[in-house]
């Protein structure tokens, strides 16, 4: 397992290393001692698995406000996604900046995204399944959504058509609205 800091402080990419043989592979997806070296060890309280049937399904940008903010660890178990994280920590030098990674069943990467970030992903394949661990409990009242296509964020989604969105994501607020009402 190789852990590396990404361009925005606090976000880490985790490259898992499968041990292969004639049966397939065996792979460590979490090791407390290794994560502790980077101060990433958490008590994971919830884990969700999502399935997206169609390519270009977009889930996000989602976050929860304090005291329900969440650290997330994202892993793709089938298919491929364009994973996006946006820094919304109000005192951060990179507030409003975003980063991305391609996560897939093939490349066996995970993303560690700390509290204070909005998160989204776009499926790049059909029949995509994603696991997401969280270190806090879900709260409907604390959940917020920011528009995936907000012009102030300028996220470069790999899309030629409109994505498949939930009603909630289609009605998400702008970054300016978020700053005005939530920070």
Q: Against a cut of 0.75, is the pTM above it?
A: yes
- Classify residue 58: in a domain, yes or no: yes
- Classify residue 112: in a domain, yes or no: yes
pLDDT at residue 183 tops 90:
no
Q: Cis omega before residue 154 (within 30°)? A: no
Host domain of residue 92: 43-182
Question: In the structure, what pLDDT confidence band is assigned to residue 114 with cuts at 50, 70 and 90?
Answer: very high
- Classify residue 30: in a domain, yes or no: no
CA distance 24 to 18: 9
- Classify residue 15: in a domain, yes or no: no
Question: What CATH number does residue 100 fall under?
Answer: 2.60.120.10
Distances, alpha carbon 30 to alpha carbons 14, 19, 34, 49, 92, in Å: 10, 15, 8, 17, 28
* Mean pLDDT estimate for the chain: 96
pLDDT at residue 75 tops 80:
yes
- Classify residue 18: in a domain, yes or no: no
- Classify residue 74: in a domain, yes or no: yes
Q: 137 near 35, Cβ under 8 Å?
A: no
Domain count for the chain: 1
pLDDT, one tens digit per residue, over 166-176 is: 999 999 999 99
- Classify residue 16: in a domain, yes or no: no
pLDDT at residue 45 tops 80:
yes
**What pLDDT does 149 receive?**
97
């Amino acid at each position: 397992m190789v852990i590396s800091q990404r361009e925005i402080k606090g976000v880490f990419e985790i490259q898992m290393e499968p041990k292969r043989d004639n049966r397939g592979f065996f792979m460590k997806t979490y090791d407390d001692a290794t994560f502790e070296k980077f101060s990433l060890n958490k008590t994971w309280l919830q884990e969700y698995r999502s399935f997206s049937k169609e390519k270009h399904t977009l889930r996000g940008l989602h976050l929860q406000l304090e005291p329900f903010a969440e650290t997330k660890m994202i892993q793709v178990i089938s298919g491929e996604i364009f994973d996006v994280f946006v820094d919304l920590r109000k005192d951060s030098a990179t507030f409003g900046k975003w980063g991305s990674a391609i996560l897939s069943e093939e490349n066996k990467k995970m993303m560690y995204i700390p509290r204070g970030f909005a998160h989204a992903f776009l499926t790049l394949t059909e029949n995509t399944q994603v696991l997401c661990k969280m270190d806090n409990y879900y709260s409907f009242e604390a959940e917020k959504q920011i528009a995936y296509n907000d012009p102030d964020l300028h996220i470069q989604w790999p899309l030629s058509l409109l994505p498949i969105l939930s009603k909630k994501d289609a009605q998400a607020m702008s970054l300016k609205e978020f700053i005005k009402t939530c920070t």
